[in-house]
Structure 1
Amino acid sequence: MVRLLSRSDMVSILSMQDVIHVVEEGFRTMNLQEDHIPVRLPLNVSDKAAVALFMPAYLSASQTLGAKTVTVFPDNPSHGVPVIMGYYTLCDAVTGKLIALMDATYLTGIRTAAASAVATKYLARKEARRLGIIGAGVQARFHAMAMMAVRSVDEIMVYNRSVEQGEKLVQELTARYAIPIHFM
């Protein structure tokens, strides 16, 4: 039976801590050369100034293979949908049978920020307590969550070209975290 996982399913299943752990393990095993993760394939949709990105992978330890498709359509807000959307197909690597079809929009956001959190864990100065966020989009929110998971952050500074969007992010983060958060 194929599992269909919506965005709300993904939000309820995935915690930032768990995703950081899985991403860290993925980085650790990446050099074992048992997995096959080719470079993503972009497909330009020139008449829409858009792009579709295809990212296949085979993971030998879990005997799974899958492909994530991410679409970036800048005009989507005029259609009432996000600029960036993603879908993931997961298959059994023994038979090729489809296991799950997942909304990967949330997955993409949390995984990208988790990768940054792993880098921060190992590369940032241990005493660093201030977080700077450039931009006020989807990734800004995920990165704030990810950095709070790996560091004791005392202050967040947000910079964004749009004052309105920057201040909106500051309000959201202030409601979530009990630390000073400033728009620069």
Structure 2
Amino acid sequence: MWIVPEREIANLMTRDVAFDAVETVFAAMASGEAYNFPVIREAIGHEDALYGFKGGFDRAGLTLGLKAGGYWPNNLARRGLINHQSTVFLFDPDTGMVRAMVGGNLLTALRTAAASSVSIKHLAREDAKVLGIAGAGHQAKYQLSAALEQRSFDKVIGWNYHPEMLPNIEKVAAEAGVPFEVVDLPGMAEADVIITITSAFSPSLMADHVSPGTHVACMGTDTKGKQEVDAALLVKAAVFTDEVAQSISIGEAQHAFGEGLIAESDVAQLGAVINGTHPGRGSADQITLFDGTGVGLQDLAVAASVVNLAIAQGVAIEVDF
């Protein structure tokens, strides 16, 4: 069995590798070559933590496994650890033997950013110039870095529940040489692409905050009850997701679907756009929305890539098991 510790991930996994892995597995999902297992996610009644498992099997890439982990909201304040903690386990699909154990914290951040970046590539207008970020927590900086590589943005605008956190993303924009401006939520109407990356249970981005032709990527924590955007926005938009079942049950589409405002058939797979079996954006004025629910296959895809890189570079640890 190979072990790739968390400390090695930053030197192995690049945004380009994460992007390619996620784009490829989305396409495999839409073609029926890969599928996710049912998600288990539970409040464990200790430290206010949420813990669960995501897994799946990609026949095309012969990748089988699961990610175990969750959210410990007291970690940062009490222990100096990030609140999201996870580990990925890969298995040989031919024998069932464990193949690898991989640190999943940075991989989760990179694959989540890669997912929204893939959606921008395939759904945002080519002439998009203003990028909006609603949220400024740990994940937001990864989202911004990845998004800036997909279009020639000439400005970033940002909003957060706690404005004192906005320098986190202003620094990323400055390092990329792109001007940054703080706005209120109605100011998001200036954006051509908006990424929401919050842990909200009530909407902040409303339908009238989004202009015609905008692409919105909803990337915040997915669980029962979560809601980052107004349900009416999903009625106005062409809605895409990584996995439809998750989108309408624990993702951003759950409220519009539950209220009968949209049907399951109104939510399309982003992988179908990648494969060319769905046309994607219908016009320059159409609002598109990607609901990134964070499927297990994303984690397995980036973990498999990092294991191969670690072996090639001689930093993977081999143990008998």
Give the drift of 1:64: 2.7
CA contact (8 A) 1:64 1:93 kept: yes
Q: Percent identity among equivalent residues?
A: 27
CA contact (8 A) 1:40 1:56 kept: yes
CA contact (8 A) 1:17 1:149 kept: no
CA contact (8 A) 1:167 1:183 kept: no
4+ runs deviating over 3 angstroms: none
Residue 107 of structure 2 corresponds to residue 107 of structure 1 = yes
How far apart, in 1, do the equivalents of 2:5 and 2:165 lie? 27
The equivalent of 1:3 in structure 2 is 2
Give the drift of 1:62: 2.8
Q: For 2:23, give the aligned amino acid.
A: E
Residue 76 of structure 2 corresponds to residue 56 of structure 1 = no
For the aligned residues, what is the CA RMSD? 1.6
The equivalent of 2:179 in structure 1 is 180
The equivalent of 2:26 in structure 1 is 27
The equivalent of 1:124 in structure 2 is 124
5 Å-filtered alignment, 1:1-184, equals 2-77=1-76, 78-174=78-174, 176-184=175-183
Give the drift of 1:172: 4.2
Q: Please list the CA deviations of residues 106-156 of structure 1 after superposition, one character each: whole Å capped at 9, or x if unmatched.
A: 111111111111111121111111111111112211111111121111111
CA contact (8 A) 1:43 1:51 kept: yes
The equivalent of 2:306 in structure 1 is none
Give the drift of 1:25: 1.4
Give the drift of 1:84: 0.7
CA contact (8 A) 1:73 1:84 kept: yes
> With structure 2 as the length reference, what TM-score do the two structures score?
0.54
How far apart, in 1, do the equivalents of 2:144 and 2:51 lie? 27
Give the drift of 1:173: 3.5
Give the drift of 1:36: 3.0
How far apart, in 2, do the equivalents of 1:167 and 1:14 lie? 25
CA contact (8 A) 2:40 2:54 kept: yes
Gap regions ≥5 residues in structure 2: 184-321
Deviates more, 1:101-110 or 1:91-100: 91-100
How far apart, in 2, do the equivalents of 1:4 and 1:153 lie? 39
Alignment CA distance shift 1:97-1:143 (3 Å): same
Q: For 2:176, give the aligned amino acid.
A: Y
Give the drift of 1:161: 2.1
The equivalent of 2:281 in structure 1 is none
Query: If each structure's helix is expressed as a fraction of its own residues, which one has the higher value?
Result: 1
Alignment CA distance shift 1:29-1:168 (3 Å): closer
CA contact (8 A) 2:145 2:172 kept: no
How far apart, in 2, do the equivalents of 1:113 and 1:172 lie? 14
| Aligned partner of residue 46 in structure 1, secondary structure | coil
Deviates more, 1:160-169 or 1:49-58: 160-169
Give the drift of 1:92: 0.9
How far apart, in 2, do the equivalents of 1:62 and 1:48 lie? 37
